Chains A and B, each alone.
Chain A
Amino acid sequence: MGEPGGGIANGILGTLTIAGLAMAGGIPLAVMSGIYLAEYGRGKFASIVRFAVDMLAGVPSIIMGIFGYVFWVLPMKRFSAWAGAAALAMIFIPVVVRTTEEMLRTVPQSVREAALALGIERWKTTLFITVRTATAGIVTGILLAMARIVGETAPLLFTALGNQFWQSGLDQPIAAIPLQVFNYAISPYDDWHDKAWAGAVVLIGMVLLISAGARYFTRVKK
């Protein structure tokens, strides 16, 4: 151990895979929930949903890892990309639900009224006019939540586990940059420490890129 070689390419691919899966499942669910809360959610059920989402958003990320372990890893009897993605989605979803809801609330009531007065059905008004008006904000919320899950380590410890090799399937353990940084950093080898630093730089670079993307979407059009 400690000889030259190794690297984090499998981790980059793994992180993109898990985050991608988490977002593919999380975006529709979270955005639809946000739309429900902002546009239709009145009464008891909505306030229960809102409270549950706030609770979820405050749950420590290690707990989400345990959640993934209990509900995905144990039943499947193996660590997997799916389990990692599920744990990350649990962090991703509440953030996006609340930003979507808040962004939709910033859309003036006059916009909804104008659409209604044109004889546009309510669901079309919501989907094609209200949501469209708030798209920049919603996309920004999604990107910021993505930046957050890309860097999460704790939820992946008991779910994705990490993998020293290229991934061999979504139902198998998978590498992720934060896990690699952690493993390289606690090793006794200088060469591995260098790789931990490199992994950290790559991770920061990814977060920076995503944040820049978020800035791009919220830029003021001239």
Chain B
Amino acid sequence: MENALKVKDLSAWFGEHQVLKNIAMDIRRNSVTSVMGPSGCGKSTFIRCLNRMHDLTPGFRVSGDVLFDGRNIYSEKIDPVLLRRKVGMVFQQPNPFPRMSAFENVAVGLKFNGKKRSRSEMAEVVEKSLRMAALWDELKDHLDRPGTSLSGGQQQRLCIARALAVEPEVLLMDEPCSALDPVSTAKIEELIEDLSDKYTIVVVTHNMQQAGRISDFVAFFLLGDLVEMDRAAKIFTNPADKRTEEYITGRFG
């Protein structure tokens, strides 16, 4: 197995405040990697570095390399717009576009990414994406409903379908279940497992049980440091670092 992303010596600052310190991480292709840690440890900042979502944040600065397909995404030759089509993202709060139907929500990435597609091609991609997001059966007769009228769990799966429609290689998920109830959470977790056959998935979570259920690899962050990263089973049964052990046994955090 090869790496989809290779992070080397990544540091990040908001103004003077350093939020990530010399992170090095290899993210295996077609696997689920969880980024776990207490609030404020830099885990969200970290995955947002992987598709340059911070570009528009005033005062944000980054150093080090993130290699995607062997090229540093922070090099000047990389167009962040094209990068984000390959490295998609799902957010903590479900954020379907208001004033767009469910169909349009899924189609929107394709509509604006340059290539002309016929209506039937569009419909095909929308169906395929919704099927992958396990939403097709629930939604196929209601595609014209506003995306925002769906339930929270459906909205989040709609957002996943929307991200999948542009055919990314990597899917970044920033606490995708933290705004959802347990039933919806279970569905999304199941979905993550299914998707990992075809996609490289990086999930931020502060929920250890969730990290344990869905991950192949777990990275534990604390105060901007990557404390350790290993196979999920290893992290949860025999962590190398004392701080990891204290976190997973609930002694702090």
Q: Which residue numbers of A lie inside 8 Å of B, CB to CB?
A: 42, 108, 110-111, 113-122, 124, 128-129, 132-133, 135, 221
Contacts and interface: CB of A to CB of B under 8 A. Distances in A.
B56 interface: yes
A218 to B, nearest CB: 13
B81 interface: yes
A120 B51 CA distance: 13
Contacts of B163: 117-118
A47 to B, nearest CB: 15
Contacts of B162: 114, 118
B95 A113 contact: yes
Contacts, number: 69
A113 B48 CA distance: 11
Contacts of B56: 116, 122
Nearest to A108: B95
A136 B83 CA distance: 33
Nearest to A135: B99
Interface string B220-244: 0000000000000000000000000
B82 A110 contact: no
Given A108-B95, A111-B95, A116 B58 contact: no
Main secondary structure of the interface of A (DSSP, over half): helix
Contacts of B125: none
A135 B95 CA distance: 18
Contact of A111 (B98, B109, B166): B98
B159 A119 contact: no
A119 B81 contact: yes
A116 B98 contact: no
Contacts of B166: 118-119
Nearest to B168: A119
A111 B81 contact: no
B109 A119 contact: yes
Contacts of A135: 99
Of all A-B residue pairs in the complex, the 8 with the closest CB atoms, nearest first, are A119-B85, A118-B109, A117-B89, A110-B95, A119-B84, A120-B112, A114-B95, A124-B112
Given A111-B97, A121-B81, 5 more contacts: A110-B95, A114-B159, A114-B162, A115-B97, A116-B53
15 contacts: A42-B58, A111-B95, A111-B97, A113-B53, A114-B96, A114-B97, A114-B159, A116-B84, A118-B85, A118-B109, A118-B162, A129-B97, A129-B108, A133-B98, A135-B99
